[in-house]
Amino acid sequence: MRAYLPVGWAALADLHRAGSIPGPVRGCAVDPAWRAGDLSVDEEQWEYEAQAQAAESLPGGAGVVLAVDVPGAGSATQDGWVEVPGPVRRADVAAVLTADLAWFGVQEIPALLPG
């Protein structure tokens, strides 16, 4: 399952420096219950909705969204929100998204970090 985890800049720096961030981390994912709410929506649209919901939760647009491949289903909450127990390892991060949903590869993390 792909989850989109909104994190602050400090967490991104920790991920880069230490190779992981501790959990739990709350994020958005396309879980079966959320998908069942509208069967006419295709998978790409659901993924975009999950990305957008995660980005909108960033306080003041500060931070990034980690696109993370989570083994298993995680712990579903509501409306697509899940809790990823962690730790979130750099190896599990597929991409980094800015608040405006621009995608960056994991290798580009150093260039994204402030300062």
- Spell out a b/e string for 73-87, using b for 16 or more CB atoms within 10 Å of the CB, else e: ebebeeebbbebeeb
Backbone angles phi, psi at 55, to 5 degrees: -65, -40
Does the reported pTM lie above 0.95? no
| Residue 104: pLDDT over 90 | yes
Q: What is the pLDDT of residues 13-66, one digit of tens each?
A: 999 999 999 989 999 988 766 666 667 777 788 889 899 999 999 988 889 999
Which region among 27-31, 71-75, 93-97, 110-114 has the lowest average model confidence (pLDDT)? 71-75
Chain-centre distance of CA 54, in angstroms? 7
In the DSSP assignment, the letter for residue 71 is S
